[in-house]
């Protein structure tokens, strides 16, 4: 998938749609449940973000999967959706092993960097690239042996309810 995106280039600006983030989170939760894990829903404010449904689901799913990978079975992983000004904030929190500030700064969003036995280390890179492409950002707070919080800040998709059509003809 990443190679296809690199070959074809970024999605043309202005082609993003309104993605119902509650629906995306519930699909990600269903995948976690099917894998025998519990994704706690902390808060789900009904928000629509600019983006593409499948890509946002893949990115949120990746962040959640990383949280599960870093957390033992007795630990907790939760997700919340909240409005943060003009952005939707998707917050994934875990009680996992955490990351050092150096790892976050130097390796987390670089391609082919991973601490896992399996995987190629491109999921965080893809997530970072796509969120940047949408005009959003990713924030990471982590403490060794306490856990990590990853926040995806995505531009809201809002339509004006009072849009009027104006004639180009003189009155």
Q: What are 140-149's pLDDT values in tens digits?
A: 999 999 999 9
Tell me the residue range of the domain where 51 lies. 36-155
Residue 3 resides in a domain: no
2-16, 85-99, 109-123: which has the highest mean pLDDT? 85-99
The answer to whether residue 148 sits within a structural domain is yes
HEC profile of the chain: CHHHHHHHCCCCCCCCEEEEHHHHHHHHHHHHHHCCCCEEEEEECCCEEEECHHHHHHHHHHHHHHHHHHCCCCCCEEEEEEEECCEEEEEEEECCCCCCHHHHHHCCCCCCCCCCCCCCCCHHHHHHHHHHHCCCEEEEEEECCCEEEEEEEEEECCCCCCCCCCCCCCC
How many independent structural domains does the chain possess?
A: 1
Binned at pLDDT 50, 70 and 90, residue 125 comes out as confident
Of 59, 75, 76, which is closest to residue 151 (Cα–Cα)? 59
Could you tell me the CATH number of the domain that includes residue 139? Answer: 3.30.565.10
Q: Is residue 91 part of a domain?
A: yes
pLDDT tens digit sequence for 23-80: 999 999 999 999 999 999 988 889 999 999 999 999 999 999 999 999 999 999 999 9
**CA-atom Rg of the chain in angstroms:** 18
Structural domain includes residue 21: no
Task: Examine residue 20 and state whether it is found in any structural domain, yes or no.
Answer: no
| Any domain includes 96 | yes
Instruction: Determine, yes or no, domain membership for 25.
Output: no
pTM of the model: 0.80
Instruction: Establish if 4 belongs to a structural domain.
Output: no
């Amino acid at each position: 998938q990443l190679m296809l995106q690199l070959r074809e280039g970024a999605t043309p600006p202005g082609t993003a749609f309104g993605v119902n983030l509650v629906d995306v989170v519930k699909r990600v939760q269903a995948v976690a449940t099917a894998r025998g894990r519990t994704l706690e829903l902390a808060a789900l404010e009904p928000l629509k973000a600019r983006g593409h449904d499948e890509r946002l689901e893949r990115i949120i799913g990746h962040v959640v999967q990383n949280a599960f990978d870093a957390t033992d079975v007795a630990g907790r992983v939760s997700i919340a959706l909240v409005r943060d000004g003009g952005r939707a904030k998707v917050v994934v929190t875990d009680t996992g092993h955490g990351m050092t500030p150096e790892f976050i700064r130097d390796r987390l969003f670089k391609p082919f960097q991973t601490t896992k036995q399996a995987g190629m280390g491109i999921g965080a890179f893809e997530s970072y690239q796509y969120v940047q492409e949408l005009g959003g950002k990713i924030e990471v707070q982590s403490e060794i042996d306490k856990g990590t919080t990853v926040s995806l800040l995505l531009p809201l998709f809002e339509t004006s309810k009072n849009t009027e059509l104006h004639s180009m003809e003189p009155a």
